[in-house]
Amino acid sequence: MDNSAFEAVYSGARQAGKSVGALVLMVIAFISLYYFFDATLAWLGSRVGLDTSLSVSWLCLLQRKVVSSKQGRIKEGTFPLQNKIQFTPS
């Protein structure tokens, strides 16, 4: 039990500091993993000879186009790899 308001503020700030520190470390780790995955995809894309570099944002765009084409909302000529990848709505 804390004997004074100063001790209570100090112990509360110490506990909050640990939580904020853990949160900052988690954000740094997430961003590092994101960039590692992005660089790995770019390297793999260059190894297989893709014109466009693979990246996380390119994969998200591809996934969005696949979902849109399955729903019948894709327009002809809007996707750069339409000639190489055939989307058939089901």
Q: What's the angle, vertex CA 28, arms to CA 47 and CA 59, rounded to 5?
A: 35
- 63-88 residue pLDDT tens: 777 776 666 655 555 555 555 555 45
pLDDT bin (cut points 50, 70, 90) of residue 90 is very low
Each domain of the chain, given as residue ranges in start order, spans 5-53, 55-90
Other beta carbons less than 10 A from residue 50's beta carbon: 14
Residue in the structure block whose two tokens are 């470390």: 25
State the average pLDDT over residues 30-51: 85
On whether the CB atoms of residues 34 and 56 are closer than 8 A, the answer is: yes
Find the helix or strand (DSSP H, E) in which 10 lies. helix 5-48
